[in-house]
Amino acid sequence: MALRIRKSFKIAPGLRINVSKSGVSTSLGGKGATVNLSKRGTRVITSIPGTGISASKLYGAGKRDAAPAPPTPVWAHVVTWLIIAAVIWWIFS
């Protein structure tokens, strides 16, 4: 049996930060259509709300077979979190 650990934080309407064992991702959208950006690629999920019917497509999955990408520089993570903090401050001020 596999153990899954995941936590999702709502940053703004239609914007979520997802944290799991495998890393961090960002989801944009809501009921009916969502785009998830992660290290695995971009996943687009469309659904008919309330029916349980959905479709999902992963773009960029072929990159896993290629040479590994260089690690993301630390400054890129710092800039991302500064932007998120500014958006949160703007929403609640």
Residues 59-69, mean pLDDT to the nearest whole number:
65
pLDDT at 13 > cutoff 60: yes
Q: State residue 56's pLDDT score.
A: 92
Residue 59 amino acid letter: Y
Which helix (H) or strand (E) segment is 35 a member of? Answer: strand 33-38
Q: State residue 63's pLDDT score.
A: 54
- Residue range 26-51, pLDDT digits in tens: 899 888 898 888 888 888 999 988 88
- Backbone Cα Rg of the chain: 15
The percentage of residues in the chain with a pLDDT greater than 70, rounded to a whole number, is: 88
Q: Pick the closest to residue 80 from 32, 31, 15, 5 (CA basis).
A: 15
Which residues does residue 33 pair with via DSSP β-bridges, in sequence order?
Answer: 30, 46
Q: Sketch the domain layout of the chain as residue ranges.
A: 6-92
Q: Worst-scoring range by mean pLDDT, 17-21, 47-51, 65-69?
A: 65-69
